Structure 1
Amino acid sequence: MVFKIGDHVMVLDENMSGVVKNIVGTSISIETEDGFLLDFKSDELIKDTSKSILKKARISNTAISEKEQPTRKQQKRIKAKDRFEPTMEVDLHINQLVKSSRGMSNHDMLTLQLDTARHKLDWAISKRIQKIVFIHGVGEGVLKIELEYLFGRYNNIKFYDANYQKYGLGATEVYVYQNV
């Protein structure tokens, strides 16, 4: 395939596209949509005809829209219940923390889960994240009791059961007060 500078191209076997910036023999440099210059061989690229069609369509749409009266821009509506959704979830199930719990005692697993919870909570506080959900599961309630003891040692947080519809009884939501 013959390429020229300014062509829109896509990379085969990768989710990447860009504009041809330089051609040296069979090596072609493209600038990605993120602004990176990358080199590929010509047989790794194909022309992206949809970009040129879109460009022509944009030009005609711009001409049409200039003639029309400007309309008010629609903002994306955020539902009230989505506004209060937690921004961070931490799954403390042991199979999410290690590849295999084989050879670990119950004490080792509980210690790992609590250390992970403490680390994630400290990280969230340092990054000023207000809401965190710790998913601990239902089980016998040992992890939940230990988490409540851990959260009770912090002055700037309150904790309560997370949304029942989403998590059931197996999660605790933590709210971090920012101005303490």
Structure 2
Amino acid sequence: MWNKGDRVSVLDEAINGQVIAVNGTDVTIETEDGFMMKFGSHELVKLHNDSNLMDTIRRINVEEIIKEKTIPAPRSFVKERKEKKEVGVPEFDLHIEKLVPNKRGMSNYDILTLQADTAKRHIEFAIRNRIPKIVFIHGVGEGVLKAELDFLLGRYDNVVFQDANYQKYGLGATEVYFKQNTK
């Protein structure tokens, strides 16, 4: 267990030294002050070369630890193909939390009316500014907002709508395409 030359520390005493001789369970050490002392092997603890705290701290590679701790981004196996000329599509979140700072005191009717009016404003803005495509994020829920949005979109000519990309939005979004007249 103990070899000649091992660095050791004595338990319950502030004595460090180097093993000089081993005789059964008796270990003779030379202390850092140059004294020869005998101890039982159960009274000693082996010191490693990294006993100096500052040396240990200097050897720690912080960048490697940060790299280990960062959670890798989930990989998507199917990439959404974009055309070179395609610009980002405007997305409008119709969740009530995104529209008002506090919905306290609003009835379900008030909430649905506000969401429908917001969607109508965005549709008319897109038509006026000749925006070819927008996406409404309505969430899944019970489907009341989606049904209201479908009814609203059905009242416009030259508007085509469908469920948005499932991989990107799940079931809670609708893509709206505006057919532009080229007069």
Q: Which of the numbers 103, 110, 119 marks the counterpart of 2:121?
A: 119
Alignment correspondent of 2:72: none
- Match for residue 101 of structure 2? 99
* Counterpart among 172, 175, 180 of residue 173 in structure 1: 175
Question: In structure 2, what is the Cα distance between the partners aligned to 1:82 and 1:168?
Answer: 19
The residue aligned with 2:82 is: 82
Alpha-carbon offset, residue 109 of structure 1: 0.3
CA distance in 2 between partners of 1:124 and 1:144 (Å): 19
> Cα offset for 1:80?
7.7
- For 1:124, what is the secondary structure of its paired residue? helix
* 3-state secondary structure, aligned to 1:166: helix
- Could you say which residue in structure 2 is the equivalent of 1:54? none
Deviation for aligned residue 1:106: 0.4
Residues 86 and 133 in structure 1, CA contact (< 8 A), matched pair in contact too: no
The verdict on how the C-alpha distance between 1:147 and 1:162 changes in structure 2, with shifts beyond 3 A counting, is: same
Q: What is the aligned partner in structure 2 of residue 8 from structure 1?
A: none
1:86–1:132 CA contact under 8 A, matched in 2: no
Q: CA deviation at 1:87?
A: 1.6
In structure 2, the partner of 1:62 is: none
Indicate the SS of the match to 2:103.
coil
For the residues of structure 2 that align with 1:170 and 1:85, how far apart are their CA atoms?
Answer: 22
Deviation at 1:104, TM superposition (A): 0.3
The alignment's TM-score, normalised by the length of structure 2, stands at: 0.53
CA distance in 2, matches of 1:136, 1:100: 18
Q: How does 1:11-50 map to 2 (within 5 A)?
A: none
Following superposition, the deviation at residue 82 of structure 1 comes to: 2.0
CA contact (8 A) 1:133 1:171 kept: yes
What is the match of residue 131 of structure 1? 133
Preserved CA contact (<8 Å) 1:131 1:175? yes
Alpha carbons of structure 1 residues 118 and 102: separation in structure 2 relative to 1, 3 Å: same
Q: TM-score, normalised by structure 1?
A: 0.54
Distance 1:178 1:87, change over 3 A: same
Question: In percent, how many aligned pairs have the same letter?
Answer: 63
Q: Report which of the two structures shows the higher radius of gyration computed on alpha carbons.
A: 2
Q: Distance in 2 between matches of 1:170 and 1:80?
A: 18
Hey, which bits of structure 1, 4+ residues long, moved more than 4 A?
none
Q: Which runs of no fewer than 5 residues in structure 1 stay unpaired?
A: 1-78
- Root-mean-square deviation over aligned CA pairs: 1.8
Give the count of matched residue pairs.
102
